[in-house]
Structure 1
Amino acid sequence: MPSRPLTWLSRASRRLAALEQALCSLLIVAFGALLIANVFARYVLNSPLYFANELAVYILIWMAFLAVSIAIHHDQHVRLTMLVGLLPAPAQRACYWLTELLCVAMLAVMLWYAIGWLRSPSVTYDIAITLDWPKWHFYLIVPIFCATSLFHLIARLPDRSRTVFSLPSDEE
């Protein structure tokens, strides 16, 4: 079957996923460097970096959210397909579209509430104890994740509807 050209949304989604991958790789390096520096400071200099544990947690949280967004781009997120696989092809397609649209709706609602949460005074004035930085910088990953995942989902729907989930008569 000849491959069809990607839509501009698909190309933008690929570029966004590449950016997310690069940021995730940078965070992995930063995480490793932070842990090595902390071990060196603790055991060689006898003066540990008091902020290292808190910053490491935030780095891991950012990496996890970015990794899930990348998985959504590649359509590799977790699914339970055992029962759906027993259905006839039209019902499988309907289940696919239902779950994709449900994910789009859930991410849109999460994005709406995440933005409201970030704008609330309880987050605005919350300070990371050992870093003495406002926590809202670290919490930005929640709306970023929702927005990028939403974009990845919306970008792949037209391509998926033409390829994997086409009717058998469309393939001739």
Structure 2
Amino acid sequence: MPIRPTRSAAIAAAARRWSLRVNWVVERACVALLALLVLDVWLGVAVRYAIPLPLTFTEELARYLMIWMALLAVSSGVAHREHIGVEFLFARLPAPVRRWLAVAFDLCAFAFFAALFWYGIAFAERGFSRLTMIYAIPKGYPYLGVPLAAFLACVQLGLMIVHDWFAEAAPETVGAATPDAGRRLEGDA
């Protein structure tokens, strides 16, 4: 007879599954942005040195693609617990203290990203009154990457808080991936 997980363990596992699902989408978006960035940079090099075409948009597009990719990757780092932590102290604490401390770290990071989301919206709104140099589109569109990335980081941190609180075992290290971090989602091949 299979052992049924406790309600707390089931909640932690559900939070981790949702975290992996959100991360799956974000990682694919980052890969797509990276592919566009590489193609854009290659095109920029080609039109500068090999093909005499007057394409001036490649530098600006590369800048915005890189910024969006880097900002979106923050939530992936949160999902895999690849963030800054004080390992020396954290690993030497007893398990109940580590659980409270992990949740406290997550709450501090959540507060930071919530503030970044709030101020990022105002930043993007102000950007809609200014135009980019090459495209002449409102800068608010590229600036929307800040609140979007902060929102995704908040979602991941919220799921990590639920996971850390309800997991049966306290985290061993503050920056350690959760036990099933390397596990693939159902349906992944």
TM range (shorter): 0.7 to 0.9
Is 1:76–2:82 an aligned residue pair?
Answer: yes
What is the TM-score when the length of structure 1 is the normalising length? 0.83
Match of 2:128 among 96, 116, 124: 124
Q: What are the Cα deviations for residues 4-43 of structure 1, in whole angstroms up to 9, with x where unaligned?
A: 5432x44333222111111111111101111111122122
Contact 2:37 2:62 in 1 (8 A): yes
Specify the alignment match of 1:158 in structure 2: 162
Instruction: Tell me which residue corresponds to 1:169.
Output: none
Corresponding residue for residue 104 of structure 2: 98
- The yes-or-no answer on 1:54 pairing with 2:60 is yes
Question: Distance in 1 between the 2:123 and 2:150 partners?
Answer: 13
Q: Which letter does structure 1 place at the counterpart of 2:163?
A: D
105, 110, 116: which is aligned to 2:116?
110
Q: RCO higher in 1 or 2 (8 Å CA, sep ≥ 6)?
A: 2
Match in the other structure for 1:144: 148
Amino acid at match of 1:143: P
Percent identity for Structure 1 against Structure 2 = 27
Cα distance in structure 2, aligned partners of 1:10 and 1:159:
6
**Quick one: distance in 1 between partners of 2:55 and 2:4?**
56
- Alignment RMSD: 2.2
1:13–1:89: structure 2 CA closer, same or farther, 3 Å change rule?
Answer: closer
Which amino acid in structure 1 is aligned with residue 40 of structure 2? L
User: 1:57 deviation in Å?
Assistant: 1.1
2:139 to 132, 135, 147: 135
Partners of 1:72 and 1:153 within 8 A in 2: yes
**Residue ranges of structure 1 left out of the alignment (5+ in a row):** 167-172
Match for residue 22 of structure 1 among 20, 28, 45: 28
1:55 Cα shift? 1.1
Runs (4+) off by over 6 Å: none
Distance in 1, matches of 2:100 and 2:16, equals 22
Structure 1 Cα separation of the partners of residues 33 and 144 of structure 2:
15
Q: Distance in 2 between matches of 1:92 and 1:163?
A: 13
Instruction: Return the structure number with greater helix share.
Output: 1
Structure 1 contact 50–130 (Cα < 8 Å) conserved: yes
